[in-house]
């Protein structure tokens, strides 16, 4: 799978996902710091990538603004830290019934998840 890490996502997620055989781009290597959400989302679409972010706005806006996209995963934890975020990512990539993520927006919480998809 192709992933784009938003600048608020731990850099260690790149190595973690690389080791699992995924293609990962870090937005910090592709766009100027502080790029707006629209530009970040556009880059994910250009790269045919699932956007990984901790920005909860994406969960609420993407389904209303874009009918088609390559997927968005929002990590929304009470006390986010690198280990907790990577643990939720590990859980996600084992959930074969959620894939493909095309046109889906998933919010991963501490022990649950919410899913928005067309239809």
Q: Residue 71 is part of a domain; what is its CATH number? A: 3.40.50
State which residues form the domain around 57. Answer: 2-116
Cα–Cα dist 115/81, whole Å: 22
φ, ψ for residue 16 (rounded to 5)? -55, -50
Q: What is the pLDDT along the chain (119 residues), one digit of tens a residue?
A: 999 999 999 999 999 999 999 999 999 999 888 899 999 999 999 999 999 999 999 999 999 899 899 999 999 999 999 999 999 999 999 999 999 999 999 999 999 999 998 76
Rounded to 5 degrees, φ, ψ at 42 are: -60, -40
Instruction: Give the pLDDT score at 31.
Output: 86
Tally of domains within the chain = 1
Could you tell me the pTM of the whole model? Answer: 0.94
Cα–Cα dist 66/109, whole Å: 23
**Which residues neighbour 74 within 8 Å (Cβ) at sequence distance 6 or greater?**
53, 54, 55, 56, 58, 59, 105, 106, 107, 108
């Amino acid at each position: 799978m192709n992933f784009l890490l938003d600048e608020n996502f731990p850099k260690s997620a790149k190595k973690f996902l690389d080791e699992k055989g995924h293609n990962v781009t870090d937005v910090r290597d592709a766009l100027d710091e502080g790029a707006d959400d629209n530009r970040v989302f556009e880059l994910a679409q250009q790269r045919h990538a699932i956007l990984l972010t901790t920005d909860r706005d994406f969960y609420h806006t993407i389904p209303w603004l874009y009918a088609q996209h390559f997927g968005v995963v929002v990590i929304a934890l009470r006390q986010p830290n690198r280990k907790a975020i990577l643990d939720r990512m590990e859980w996600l990539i084992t959930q074969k019934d959620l894939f493909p993520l095309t046109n889906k927006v998933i919010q991963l919480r501490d022990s649950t998840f919410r899913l928005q998809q067309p239809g």
